[in-house]
C-alpha cells in the first residue's frame, strides 16, 4: 500500500501553543493519594511527592496541569484545601463518593507543580458556589499581600503568590451528573459575572468557559451558542471534552474516532464564529480541549466500587496497544487544529485514565498511551503545517470514508526539523511518498515506532515495557519510508540549508 503525504512550507495551520500538551490531576481515585503524593513511599521526597512519578511527568513535558477537578470541583470548598493540613476537614466528595482528607491541597499542588516543571490551570466551583468563592480563591492565589486572602496565604506559609494565569469557570455544567447542573442561560450568566469579577482583579488572567460535556449531549451545540451569547467578550476559551471507547471491540471504528474529534472541533469552531458574527465582534474565540482520552476499560469495575474510601481504585484503565494508536490519532487531530485549540489536557495524568500508573508502595510505569503523547510533546512544538493525505480508505458506518493514513506535521521552532506523526490504520505495510514543497534537502534523521503484534497488549508493573517504542534504523535517510502495519511512527527530517 502506498500513501502520499503532501506538505508545503507556505501552508501553515498555526503556531502550536505548547499548552496543548497539558494534562489533568483531579482529586479522584489514586491520582493524588497513591499517585503524585504518597508519604512513606520509599521514593517520596520530604513533601511526600513520589519522585519516580515526578520523573515520568517531567519526561512527558506537560506545560500545564488542570486541577483539582473535574466533577470533584462542583461541590468542593477551596478553603478546606488550605492552611495547616492537620486542621483541614475530611469531607465527603459527592462526585466520586469518596472521602477527601484534604491532606494534599492548594499549596501542596503549587509545590508539586513547580517540582514537575509545570503550571497550574485551576478550576473554580460554579456548581454549589459562585462569584464570591471564585474571587476569594483568585485573591488567595495571586495577590502579593496586604489583603485578607493574600495575607492568609502568607500566614499559611506561602509568601509568594502562586501566579495562576489560567482559570476554568466550573466544569461540565451541562451534565446531569454534576452537583449544581445549570441551564445554558443560568451558566452563561454566572460565567459572565464571575469572569467580570476575576477580570476586575486582573484583566490579564485567562478564563475558560464550559462548553458541552461532549458532542452527544442533547443540548450541544445550543449550549455553546447560548453560553457564549452571555459571556463571549469576557472569556478567552471555550472548553471541549471527549472520551472514546471500544466497548464493541470494533477496531476499524475505534481507529477512525479521530475523525469524530476533527468534526467535533470543527463544529465548536463554527458555533463560536456564529456568535462572533452575531455580536459583530472582532474577537475570535479560542478552544480549550481540557479533557480528552480513551476511557472505558475500568467502567465495569468502578460500578462495583465501595463508596467513602480515601484514594480508591477508580478509573484505572489499563491501556492497550490499540488505545495508543487511537491516542496518536487524537493528538494529530489537536495539531491539525492548532490555529484554534490553544489548550488541551490529556485526562488524566496519574492512575486515573492516565499515561502513568503506580502501585501503592511499589513502582511507577508508562502505559501504552504514554508514547504517542510523549513524541508529540517532545517534537511537536513549533508550527503545525497543513498536511494533505492521499491514501486508500475504508468505509465505516459511523465515520464514512476513513483514510488508512492519519498524519500531522510540525516544523520546529528553530525551523531546522520537520516532524511527522503518522498512524497506519491498515493491516499491511504502507510506503510513504512524501512531497514536501519548499523544504529543500529534507533528510530523514530519526524515526521512532510503536507497534505490537497483539492489539490488546498492555504494560503492567510486571511487564512495564511490553509495549514500547523502538528507534528505527534510517541509514543515510534516503531510503523509502515504510510504516509498519497498524503502527504509530514519529519521523524527524532535517532541513537542508534554505
The residues assigned a catalytic role are 172, 291
Nearer to ligand AHR, 13 or 347 (CB): 347
- The closest residue (CB) to ligand AHR is 70
d(CA 426, CA 429): 7
Least distance to ligand AHR from the beta carbon of 20, Å?
17
Please answer whether residues 227 and 200 qualify as being in contact, where contact means their C-beta atoms are separated by less than 8 angstroms.
Answer: no
Task: Considering the complex, state which of residue 7 and residue 244 has its C-beta at the smaller distance from ligand AHR.
Answer: 244
Q: Which is nearer to ligand AHR, 179 or 455 (CB)?
A: 179
Nearer residue to ligand AHR within complex by CB, 24 or 140: 24
Question: For 220-268, what is the HEC assignment?
Answer: CCHHHHHHHHHHCCCCCEEEEEEEECCCCCCHHHHHCHHHHHHHHHHHH
Whose grid coordinates read 493491516? 427
Kindly state the smallest distance separating residue 338's Cβ from ligand AHR, in Å.
Answer: 23
Q: CB 217 → ligand AHR: shortest distance, Å?
A: 11
Residue 250 contacts residue 322 (beta carbons within 8 Å): no
Shortest CB 25 distance to ligand AHR, Å = 10
Minimal distance, residue 422 CB to ligand AHR, in Å:
28
Q: Where are the alpha helices (DSSP H) in 305-453?
A: 321-336, 370-379
State the minimum distance, in angstroms, from the CB of residue 451 to ligand AHR: 28
Minimum Å gap between C-beta 71 and ligand AHR is 4
Helices 370-379 and 51-60: crossing angle in degrees, nearest 10, is: 50
Contacts of 292 (CB under 8 A, 6+ apart): 240, 241, 242, 243, 261, 330, 334, 344, 345, 346, 347
Query: What is the C-alpha to C-alpha distance for residues 9 and 20, in angstroms, rounded to an integer?
Result: 22
Task: List C-alpha distances in Å: 125 to 181, 310, 494.
Answer: 11, 21, 47
Residues making contact with ligand AHR (CB under 6 A): 26, 69-71, 171-172, 291, 347-348
Nearer to ligand AHR, 256 or 349 (CB): 349
- Residue of 353, 430, 415 whose CA lies nearest to 385: 415
Return d(Cα 237, Cα 19) in angstroms, integer.
13
Give the nearer residue to ligand AHR in terms of CB position, either 177 or 308.
177
* DSSP element (H, E) containing 308: none
* CA torsion through residues 191, 192, 195, 197, sign: negative
DSSP per residue, 423-461: EE-SSS-EEEEEEEET-TT-EEEEEEEE--S-TT-B--S
Cβ atoms of 459 and 295 closer than 8 Å: no
Closest CB to ligand AHR among 279 and 299? 299
Amino acid at each position: 500500500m502506498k500513501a502520499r503525504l503532501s506538505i508545503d512550507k507556505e501552508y501553515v495551520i498555526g503556531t502550536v501553543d505548547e499548552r496543548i500538551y497539558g494534562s489533568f490531576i483531579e482529586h479522584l481515585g489514586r491520582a493524588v493519594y497513591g499517585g503524585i503524593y504518597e508519604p512513606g513511599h520509599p521514593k517520596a521526597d520530604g513533601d511526600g511527592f513520589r519522585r519516580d512519578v515526578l520523573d515520568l511527568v517531567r519526561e512527558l513535558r506537560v506545560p500545564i496541569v488542570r486541577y483539582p477537578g473535574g466533577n470533584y470541583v462542583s461541590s468542593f470548598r477551596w478553603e478546606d484545601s488550605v492552611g495547616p493540613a492537620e486542621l483541614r476537614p475530611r469531607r465527603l466528595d459527592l462526585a466520586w463518593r469518596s472521602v477527601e482528607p484534604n491532606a494534599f491541597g492548594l499549596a501542596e499542588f503549587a509545590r508539586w507543580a513547580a517540582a514537575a516543571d509545570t503550571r497550574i490551570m485551576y478550576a473554580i466551583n460554579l456548581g454549589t458556589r459562585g462569584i464570591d468563592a471564585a474571587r476569594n480563591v483568585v485573591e488567595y492565589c495571586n495577590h502579593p499581600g496586604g489583603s485578607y486572602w493574600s495575607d492568609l496565604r502568607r500566614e499559611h506559609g506561602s509568601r509568594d503568590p502562586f501566579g495562576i494565569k489560567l482559570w476554568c469557570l466550573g466544569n461540565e455544567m451541562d451534565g446531569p451528573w454534576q452537583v449544581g447542573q445549570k441551564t445554558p442561560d443560568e451558566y452563561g450568566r454566572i460565567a459572565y459575572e464571575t469572569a467580570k469579577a476575576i477580570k476586575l482583579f486582573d484583566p490579564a488572567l485567562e478564563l475558560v468557559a464550559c462548553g458541552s460535556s461532549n458532542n452527544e449531549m442533547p443540548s450541544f451545540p445550543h449550549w455553546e451558542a447560548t453560553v457564549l451569547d452571555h459571556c463571549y467578550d469576557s472569556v478567552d476559551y471555550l472548553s471541549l471534552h471527549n472520551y472514546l471507547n471500544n466497548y464493541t471491540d470494533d477496531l476499524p471504528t475505534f481507529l477512525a474516532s479521530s475523525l469524530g474529534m476533527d468534526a467535533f472541533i470543527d463544529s465548536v469552531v463554527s458555533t463560536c464564529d456564529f456568535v462572533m458574527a452575531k455580536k459583530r465582534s472582532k474577537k475570535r474565540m479560542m478552544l480549550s480541549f481540557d479533557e480528552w482520552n480513551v476511557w472505558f476499560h475500568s467502567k465495569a469495575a468502578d460500578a462495583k466500587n465501595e463508596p467513602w474510601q480515601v484514594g480508591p481504585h477508580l478509573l484505572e484503565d489499563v491501556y492497550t496497544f490499540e488505545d495508543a494508536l487511537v491516542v496518536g490519532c487524537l493528538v494529530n487531530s489537536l495539531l491539525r487544529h492548532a490555529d484554534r485549540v490553544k489548550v488541551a489536557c490529556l485526562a488524566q495524568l496519574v492512575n486515573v485514565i492516565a499515561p502513568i500508573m503506580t502501585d501503592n508502595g511499589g513502582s511507577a510505569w508508562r502505559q501504552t498511551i504514554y508514547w504517542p503523547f510523549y513524541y508529540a510533546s517532545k517534537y511537536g512544538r513549533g508550527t503545525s503545517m497543513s498536511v494533505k493525505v492521499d491514501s486508500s480508505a475504508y468505509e465505516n458506518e459511523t465515520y464514512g470514508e476513513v483514510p488508512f493514513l492519519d498524519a500531522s506535521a510540525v516544523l520546529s521552532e528553530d525551523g531546522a526539523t520537520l516532524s511527522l506523526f503518522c498512524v497506519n490504520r491498515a493491516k499491511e505495510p504502507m510506503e510513504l511518498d512524501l512531497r514536501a514543497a519548499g523544504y529543500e534537502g529534507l533528510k530523514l534523521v530519526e524515526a521512532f515506532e510503536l507497534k505490537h503484534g497483539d492489539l490488546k497488549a498492555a504494560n503492567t508493573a510486571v511487564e512495564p515495557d511490553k509495549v514500547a517504542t523502538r528507534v528505527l534504523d534510517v541509514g543515510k535517510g534516503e531510503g523509502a519510508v515504510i510504516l509498519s502495519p497498524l503502527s504509530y511512527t514519529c519521523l524527524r527530517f532535517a532541513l537542508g540549508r534554505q
